[in-house]
Amino acid sequence: MNNKKLLLSLLTVGMTLGTAWAIRGQFGHEHGAAWAGSIGSIAILLIANRKDWFAKAFQIIISGAMGWGIGGVMSYGMVVGYGRDTEFVNVYYGLISLFVIGGLYGFIGGGLFGLSLSNSSKNPVSWPRLLVEMVVGAILFYFFIIQQYEWLMTPPRDESWAGVLGMAAALAWFMFRTKQYSALRVALFAGLGGGFGFAFGNFLQVLGHVSEIKFNFWNVMEYSLGFFGGMGMAYGTFTSHWEDSTETQYSKQWFPMLMLVLIIPITMWQQNFRMDRLEKTITPLLTASDQAIELSVRWDSLLLILFAGIYWLNVHAKSKSLDYSDIKKFFIGHFGLYMLLSILITGAFLSTYRIEQYLYILNFAIIIYLLSRAEEVVFENQSLSWNTYAKNFGIVLAFIAVLAYIAASSHDEIKGSHKRFGEEIPLETPKP
């Protein structure tokens, strides 16, 4: 029975972060990834249904959001192109590079989420120290890997992955040194899931292109990253030991709330709902150019964000406690707004040309149903077995090699493919 509960819980979180990450494809960068990460974090809190976690819910959610959002600085357009090549060595390199990038998304997202779960007055996390160490790690890794050794992954694109790798290394050392083994376990499984999901998603994208089915298979790749990354983060959470805390009294959490409902959404709006972009997406759907519709989309979207943000701040300013129903209402509203903004910016309210936008709504309905069916999960106390993890890691790398062979053999030259090996490419680091 517990295995069935666990599988249902993993599926629910996987679909949640998968759908949110697919929506993130319309927005990109750190702000889109952070919003998606916050939605996946809320799903885990709902399934866990722990009063001590509800008491610090928004601190946990913003930790997951910022962790998943950090990876948004990484460029991966070139490595996706390597995965579309016809030679095994280039395809495998591309998929492994995506494994690294997806793994960094998940590792930092799961790690900061896990640390926030274990943070308490009895066992506090030194956040300022961790932040300093991660910044130093980013600088050192980027300096040596890119500037000194010139181990470039995505030339001539930005190589920020090296800085994110340094952050992940500093985070891992911090968790190991402070004996935050449960948080480390969440980070490792979220990283393994995110890495596999990104590589597998690129494989699906290639096969989708070969099939000539008219669908947004890039979005399939994004969904895959979120789905497996979410499952990994949920598995690490539900199979780790977390001390029961007596701190169930809700305290006001203004900064996390401001970040979640205003700062991140407004940043996303400012970066995406520009008139030049709306002209490209909405104008082609109109029989005649009508700037009034584009202006309406631009400013109505901002009003939606402001209305939702002020509403949530007002509600939780008056709250003296948080329970399951409070978090679920926030989940539905926060997720629903993200989905609605995606429909607005793509013009899917004018045309059905973006069928995946309606699949988000279907996924959303299924997720709400699964949450109503998911019983409170029974946590399993499994220790971190390095041998088992190394074995699973090796199996994933071998499986990715099989995927690379199939993908390379499935097609001739296709649009958007790149070669990392076999032809000369510029190796200079791009100027900032």
Q: In whole angstroms, what is the distance from residue 25 CA to residue 36 CA?
A: 10
Looking at residue 57, its pLDDT comes to 94
Q: Which is more confidently placed, 212 or 430?
A: 212
- 166-197 pLDDT tens trace: 999 999 999 999 999 999 999 999 999 999 99
Looking at residue 432, its pLDDT comes to 40
Mean predicted confidence (pLDDT) in 242-266: 85
Q: In whole angstroms, what is the distance from residue 422 CA to residue 192 CA?
A: 30
Nearest-5° Cα angle at 226, 43 to 299? 80
- 138-148 pLDDT tens trace: 999 999 999 99
Mean predicted confidence (pLDDT) in 290-296: 84
Which residues make Cβ contacts (< 8 Å) with residue 198, sequence separation at least 6? 76, 98, 99, 101, 102, 103, 105, 221, 224, 225
pTM of the model: 0.93
Looking at residue 423, its pLDDT comes to 66
Mean predicted confidence (pLDDT) in 216-229: 95
What percent of the chain clears pLDDT 90, i.e. is strictly above it? 71
Q: Place 69 in a pLDDT band, splitting at 50, 70 and 90.
A: very high
Q: Place 288 in a pLDDT band, splitting at 50, 70 and 90.
A: low
Q: Place 289 in a pLDDT band, splitting at 50, 70 and 90.
A: low
Mean predicted confidence (pLDDT) in 264-292: 86
DSSP one-letter string for 25-60: TTT-HHHHHHHHHHHHHHHHHHHH--HHHHTTHHHH
Mean predicted confidence (pLDDT) in 55-78: 94
Q: Is the pLDDT of residue 431 over 50?
A: no
Looking at residue 1, its pLDDT comes to 45
- 389-407 pLDDT tens trace: 889 899 999 999 999 999 9
Taking a C-beta distance cutoff of 8 angstroms, is the pair 179, 118 a contact?
no
Q: Is the pLDDT of residue 317 over 80?
A: no
Of 185, 195, 193, 39, nearest to 118 (Cα)?
Answer: 185
Q: Place 378 in a pLDDT band, splitting at 50, 70 and 90.
A: confident
